[in-house]
Amino acid sequence: MKNRTRSLDRIDLNILRCLQENARISYVDLAAEVGLSTTPCLERVKRLEKAGVIRGYKAVLDPRALKSNLLVFVEISLETQSPTVFDEFRRAVTRLPQIQECHLVSGHFDYILKCRIPEMSAYRQLLGDVVLTLPGVKESKSYVVMEEVKEEFSLYLPDFEEFDDK
């Protein structure tokens, strides 16, 4: 990853900031925003895509409009710390669309899951019928979100000087 970002310059970072704010911006408007003509701007975007710095473009949906009102974080502890159990758990959890995110973490538990579901009864069913039956799961602890204070989809991009020193 370090090699991938080492060649980024101030203009690349500005392009990334603009695209994070509005991925539907036209190349003409993007070029004007970052101070380039259209063709060099398009070439930079394509280079950033090819390098994997830009991994894709997505629409941000309103969960409430789609009846996914309940947000729950779940701590998962596995029975053993064997690579096989970790691999089986990872493979199984990637097939579950209700689980938006799954992260291997350090600390008192092994994974943290982010789940979006319609309501508590759907979560009880997901937990009992699915999550607790995943390979290697010893125990879980659930944290139901009462209020979403901040939800940010954009990555923090430091100023170029700060970025360049890394």
Domain residue extents for the chain: 6-59, 70-144
- List per-residue pLDDT tens for the chain, 166 residues long: 444 545 899 999 999 999 999 999 999 999 999 999 999 999 999 999 999 999 999 999 999 999 999 999 999 999 999 999 999 999 999 999 999 999 999 999 999 999 999 999 999 999 999 999 999 999 999 999 999 999 988 899 888 766 665 5
Q: Is 139 helix (H, G, I), strand (E, B) or coil?
A: strand
Candidate CATH numbers 3.40.190.80, 3.40.50.300, 2.160.10.10, 1.10.10.10; the one for domain 6-59 = 1.10.10.10
What is 70-144's CATH number? 3.30.70.920
Tokens found for residue 49: 């895509």
Beta bridge partners of 135: none
Alpha carbon distance, N-terminus to C-terminus of the chain: 12
Cα separation, 8 vs 117, in Å, equals 39
pTM of the model: 0.83
